[in-house]
């Protein structure tokens, strides 16, 4: 397995040097295509633009196991000093997707090299735009990529877990993550005659206050919920009543009903506050990621694989967090689970830079663990999982 780990490390470093965003992934796709071509495996993007999907194992197998990794990077300027530092200014693999891609590619290589051991078919899915406004997995899910999949698993790195440790949830993880924009339209006037104008800045300020009040007064306080305005733009100078403001926010919840309530109320508040001040308001959902449903049966099988490979001391249980993940779209089509591999050095006692940080880095020991989990899960569950 060390040979495959070294392969994964080299692929990760190559991808890390040329990070790309969203669906615009020509260099990343070229690496994945090149290595699959060397393996003699066919692939397609028929389920979604800038995706790479293919199979290894017997085509007539009764079980098809899906394996997924994401490929895109972030608009972050890298501040590390590694020799394979990003060559693309202002773009960085700051969330580990380069490692995900490399680990899945190495796992496919191992499965292809040991195809005689396979009684199942494995569908590998390299997906784009996990961090993007339009989620890659949403497009693949809508186009039927999961139709022939019996169950599937995905990988993610975990900076809080040490190399050799694996998190295998058997309950939902992540949260519904919604991005939204509100636009407020008023009327310009001279600042000395404010009564002749309609102030869009005041509309937006009052609407934000009402939105915050809605969250703390209409949502059960024991239900995890986040409301955040991260961008506020309006006006051009100091002596003109502003006629247009746009705000960009994020809303997160761990229950669909709460997300639906907040979405409806944010729209109502936007429109009613603006109308009440003589203006007009518009509300738009720009992105909505559903939380990941970790099927208990698939999750339990992952834990069995982890126990066999690593031992119970290396299996972690961690609390659910508020982050988003577009694997949630696939997990609502067929039974799925996502495992997380530790990337913190075993002898490192400090705090690792968090995901989306310009100093983000991972320990190379994670590659072998990730490959073992992917390939081990396939071998352990290739005759199916009881109850699925």
Q: pLDDT digit string (tens) for 228-255?
A: 999 999 999 999 999 999 999 999 999 9
Based on the fold, state whether residues 217 and 352 are members of the same structural domain. Answer: no
SS3 372: helix
Q: Into how many domains does the chain fold?
A: 2
Residue that finishes a domain, picked among 236, 270, 289: 289
pLDDT tens digits, residue range 321-362?
A: 999 999 999 999 999 999 999 999 999 988 999 999 999 999
Read off the tokens for 366.
């994670």
- CA 368 to chain centroid: 22
Q: What is the mean pLDDT of the chain?
A: 97
- CA 328 to chain centroid: 9
pTM to 2 decimal places: 0.94
Domain around 342: 2-172+291-381
Q: Which residues of 164-191 are buried (b: 16+ CB within 10 A; e: fewer)?
A: bbbbbbbebbbbbbbbbebbbebebbee
Quick one: which H or E segment has residue 44?
A: strand 43-44
Check residue 46 and report its DSSP letter.
Answer: T
Which CATH number does the domain housing residue 137 bear? 3.40.630.10
Which CATH number does the domain housing residue 200 bear? 3.30.70.360
Residue that finishes a domain, picked among 258, 273, 289: 289
Mean pLDDT value of segment 18-40: 98
pLDDT band at 140 (very low <50, low <70, confident <90, very high): very high
């Amino acid at each position: 397995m060390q040979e495959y780990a070294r392969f994964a490390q080299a692929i990760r470093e190559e991808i890390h040097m040329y990070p790309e965003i969203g669906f615009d992934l020509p260099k990343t796709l070229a690496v994945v295509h090149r290595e699959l071509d060397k393996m003699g495996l066919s692939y397609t993007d028929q389920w979604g633009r800038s995706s790479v999907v293919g199979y290894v194992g017997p085509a007539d197998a009764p079980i098809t196991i899906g394996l997924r990794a994401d490929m895109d990077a972030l608009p972050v300027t890298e501040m590390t000093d590694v020799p394979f530092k990003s060559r693309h200014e202002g773009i960085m693999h700051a969330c580990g997707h380069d490692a995900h891609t490399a680990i899945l590619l190495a796992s496919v290589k191992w499965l292809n090299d040991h195809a005689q051991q396979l009684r199942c078919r494995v569908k590998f899915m390299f997906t784009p735009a996990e961090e993007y406004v339009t989620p890659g997995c949403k497009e693949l899910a809508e186009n039927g990529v999961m139709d022939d999949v019996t169950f599937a698993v995905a990988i993610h790195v975990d900076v809080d877990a040490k190399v050799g440790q694996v998190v295998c949830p058997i309950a939902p993880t992540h949260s519904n993550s919604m991005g939204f924009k509100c636009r407020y339209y008023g009327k310009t006037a001279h600042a000395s005659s404010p009564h002749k104008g309609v102030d869009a800045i005041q509309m937006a300020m009052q609407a934000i206050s009402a939105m915050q009040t809605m969250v703390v007064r209409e949502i059960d306080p024991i239900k995890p919920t986040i409301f955040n305005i991260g961008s506020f733009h309006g006006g051009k100078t100091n002596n003109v009543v502003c006629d247009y403001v746009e705000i960009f926010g994020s809303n997160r919840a761990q229950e669909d009903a709460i997300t639906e309530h907040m979405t409806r109320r944010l729209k109502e508040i936007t429109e009613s506050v603006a109308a009440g001040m003589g203006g007009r308001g518009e509300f738009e959902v720009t992105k909505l990621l559903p939380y990941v449903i970790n099927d208990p049966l698939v999750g339990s099988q992952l834990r069995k694989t982890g126990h066999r490979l690593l031992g119970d001391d290396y299996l972690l249980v961690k609390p659910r967090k508020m982050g988003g993940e577009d694997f949630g779209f696939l997990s609502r089509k067929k039974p799925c689970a996502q495992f997380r591999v530790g990337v913190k050095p075993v002898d490192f006692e400090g705090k690792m830079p968090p995901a989306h940080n310009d100093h983000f880095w991972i320990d190379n020991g994670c590659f072998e663990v990730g490959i073992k989990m992917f390939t081990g899960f396939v071998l352990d569950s290739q005759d199916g999982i009881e109850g699925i």
